[in-house]
C-alpha cells in the first residue's frame, strides 16, 4: 500500500510526458543571506503568481502551506521542506514531522542536507530517519543535498563535480526517491553524475543568474544532461513578472 501511495504522489510531481519537472522553491527562511527580496517579502502575492505560471510543483515551508495553499488545494502539487538551517552550519533543525506533511496533503517531503562539514553525520542520520518513517506512509523523500567548502568554510555551496557526485551518491545509497543537487555548470560532468543514478536527479537553480537569458540557458543545458529537471527559486521570484519567467523556463525545459 505504501508503494502505491509513493508512486501516486511522484506521478503528480513528475506529470509531464517528458518525465522532467520545472518546479519552484519558495522555502527560504526569513534570514535570507541577501536581505529580504520582494519575492520573499510578499509571500501570498508571490505564490499567487507562481501558481499562475503553472509549474510542476512548489516547495515551501509548513506555515506557508497552512496559510496560503488552501485556495489552491488539489490544483498544484507541493512539497514541504522539513529543514531549517544555513549552509554555514550555524544551525539545523526540523520544522515539521512526517505526519504533519502527510496531514497537509503534500506530495513529498524535502530534507535539506549539508555535506563536507563538521556535522555531516548529524544531517545524514536525520535524513536516514526521515526516509525510514516516510516509507511507512508512502511519502516520497526529496533530498536537497548541498556540499560546502572544507569544513563548511564560509558556508559556500560547492559545485565542483567531485563534490556534487558525492552528494548524489549519498542520497542514492541512503534510499531517497529524488535527489536535488547543485548544477556543476558543465554539461558533461553533470551528465556523468545523472547517468550513474537509478533515481531522478534534479538540479538546484543555483545562485541568481545575471539575467533571464542566462537562466534559460542553464535550463537548456540541464536538459542536455538527461537530468530530471530543475527546481528554481530566486531566478523565478527574483523577477517582477513571475508567470512570464516560469513560462520561458518551462519552454526551455520541455520544448
| Whether the Cβ atoms of residue 201 and residue 228 lie closer than 8 Å to each other | yes
Q: Which is the catalytic residue, given 146, 221, 239, 250?
A: 146
27 is catalytic: yes
Partnered with residue 181 across adjacent β-strands are 203
Scanning the chain, the segments in alpha helix (DSSP H) are 2-13, 38-41, 43-53, 62-68, 98-103, 120-137, 161-174, 187-195, 212-225, 234-237, 242-254
What SS3 class is residue 255? coil
What SS3 class is residue 6? helix
φ and ψ of 21, to 5 deg: -130, 150
Q: How far is CA 216 from CA 59, 119, 205, 211, 253, in A?
A: 20, 35, 11, 9, 9
Instruction: Please provide the distance, in angstroms rounded to a whole number, between the alpha carbons at the two ends of the chain.
Output: 36
Residue 115 DSSP symbol: E
Q: Which is the catalytic residue, given 6, 49, 62, 180?
A: 180
| Whether the Cβ atoms of residue 227 and residue 205 lie closer than 8 Å to each other | no
Q: Which is the catalytic residue, given 6, 27, 62, 78?
A: 27
Q: Are strands 83-85 and 92-94 parallel, antiparallel or unpaired?
A: antiparallel
248 is catalytic: no
239 is catalytic: no
Q: What is the set of active-site residues?
A: 27, 146, 180
Amino acid at each position: 500500500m505504501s508503494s502505491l501511495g509513493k508512486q501516486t504522489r511522484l506521478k503528480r510531481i513528475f506529470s509531464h510526458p517528458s518525465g522532467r519537472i520545472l518546479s519552484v522553491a519558495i522555502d527560504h527562511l526569513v534570514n535570507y543571506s541577501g536581505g529580504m527580496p520582494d519575492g520573499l517579502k510578499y509571500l501570498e502575492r508571490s505564490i499567487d503568481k507562481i501558481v499562475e505560471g503553472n509549474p510542476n510543483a512548489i516547495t515551501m515551508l509548513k506555515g506557508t502551506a497552512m496559510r496560503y495553499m488552501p485556495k489552491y488545494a488539489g490544483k498544484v502539487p507541493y512539497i514541504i521542506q522539513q529543514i531549517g538551517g544555513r549552509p554555514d552550519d550555524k544551525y539545523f533543525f526540523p520544522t515539521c514531522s512526517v505526519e504533519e506533511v502527510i496531514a497537509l496533503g503534500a506530495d513529498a517531503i524535502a530534507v535539506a542536507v549539508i555535506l563536507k562539514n563538521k556535522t555531516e553525520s548529524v544531517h545524514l542520520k536525520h535524513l536516514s530517519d526521515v526516509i525510514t518513517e516516510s516509507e511507512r506512509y508512502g511519502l516520497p523523500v526529496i533530498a536537497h543535498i548541498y556540499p560546502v567548502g572544507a569544513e563548511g568554510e564560509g558556508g559556500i555551496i560547492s559545485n565542483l563535480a567531485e563534490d556534487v557526485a558525492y552528494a548524489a551518491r549519498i542520497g542514492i545509497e541512503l534510499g531517497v526517491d529524488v535527489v536535488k543537487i547543485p548544477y556543476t555548470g558543465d554539461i558533461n560532468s553533470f551528465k556523468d553524475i545523472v547517468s550513474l543514478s537509478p533515481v531522478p536527479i534534479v538540479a538546484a537553480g543555483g545562485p541568481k543568474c545575471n539575467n533571464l537569458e542566462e537562466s534559460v540557458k542553464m535550463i537548456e543545458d540541464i536538459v542536455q544532461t538527461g537530468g530530471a529537471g530543475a527546481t528554481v527559486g530566486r531566478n523565478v521570484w527574483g523577477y517582477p513578472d513571475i508567470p512570464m519567467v516560469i513560462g520561458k523556463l518551462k519552454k526551455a525545459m520541455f520544448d
